[in-house]
Amino acid sequence: MIKDITIGQYIPGETFVHKLDPRTKILLTILYIISLFIVDKFVGYILIIGFLVLTVWAAKLPVRYLAKGIKPVLFLIIFTAVLNIFMVKGTLNNLIFEYGFIKVYKEGLLTAAFMALRLIFLIMSTSVLTLTTSPIELTDAIEKLLKPIGKEIAHELAMMMTIALRFIPTLMDETDKIMMAQKARGADFDNGGLMQKAKSLIPLLVPLFVSSFRRADELAMAMESRAYRGGAGRTRMKQLKFTNNDLLSFGLFSILFVGALLVRFYL
């Protein structure tokens, strides 16, 4: 399951999506997530799915690779859906099932389905962003977008966010290695009750924290040895520029966004 996490990983490529300005991809991802919560009808999700399928096809990303990124949070998605089924109340006319104090309404089923779809597409869209954008491009794009709050602050925030995002797959690989080493020494992470599984994680968490602090120290030393002093006077080898492809992408997404608004307020 550790290897199934796709957020934070990057797949190099020369596709239409890879060549887009990283600022465009970040803004479109944010707007896409907003549109997920605007849509409240299944008709609207046709537009949502269509845009995501088009993006994945243009980026030439393997669908199985995106789908396996859902596995680590599958329990959370199912738990959220089940919680909504039993917690959301509706009208008596829409009562579907009743057993004692347990009541299932049509509104609860719809809410559960919408929440599950939102979580799935949210994870997939975020994965597409990181899979098609290198960490350096993400840093430059975030810094540019945050520039209005102050150049120095924007640079530091962008650097911290990108380092944290970049270290997700690294920590996952480290966790997998430690887990395999502990299993070779007789540790059992799969059997037992909830408390037993929680206790079995202690031999995993301690070396993981030690390894994380060591990597952070090594990264700090590497940055200092390369005379890193923040964003003051920093130049870039590659300047970010919007192109016609970025305008085309915003135009296509505008159609989706307007369609989502029409579905929400007029259907």
Identify how many contiguous H helices and E strands the chain contains and give both numbers: 10, 2
Name the range with the highest mean pLDDT among 63-67, 83-87, 118-122: 118-122
Higher pLDDT, 119 or 187: 119
Ordered by start, the domain boundaries in the chain are: 2-229+240-266
Could you tell me the pLDDT band of residue 5, with boundaries at 50, 70 and 90?
Answer: low
Q: Which residues pair with 97 in a beta bridge?
A: 104
Task: Say yes or no to pLDDT of 231 above 70.
Answer: no
Closest CA to 33 of 116, 130, 123, 113: 123
Task: Say yes or no to pLDDT of 209 above 70.
Answer: yes
Q: What is the pLDDT of residue 25?
A: 92
Task: Say yes or no to pLDDT of 121 above 80.
Answer: yes
Could you tell me the pLDDT band of residue 80, with boundaries at 50, 70 and 90?
Answer: confident
Q: Tokens in use for 261? A: 């608004």
Q: What is the pLDDT of residue 194?
A: 64
State the chain's mean pLDDT as an integer.
80
- Rounded CA-CA distance 165/54 in Å is 25
Task: Say yes or no to pLDDT of 2 above 80.
Answer: no
Q: What is the pLDDT of residue 198?
A: 67
pLDDT tens-digit map of 171-208: 777 877 887 887 777 777 667 666 666 677 777 778 88
DSSP state at residue 231: S
Q: If you average pLDDT over residues 125-144, what whole number do you get? A: 83
Least confident of 19-33, 80-94, 147-161: 147-161
CB atoms within 10 A of CB 93: 7
pLDDT tens-digit map of 248-262: 988 888 888 888 788
**DSSP characters for 106-173?**
HHHHHHHHHHHHHHHHHHHHHHHHHHSS-HHHHHHHHHHHTGGG-HHHHHHHHHHHHHHHHHHHHHHH
Q: If you average pLDDT over residues 16-21, what whole number do you get? A: 89
Q: What is the pLDDT of residue 213?
A: 82
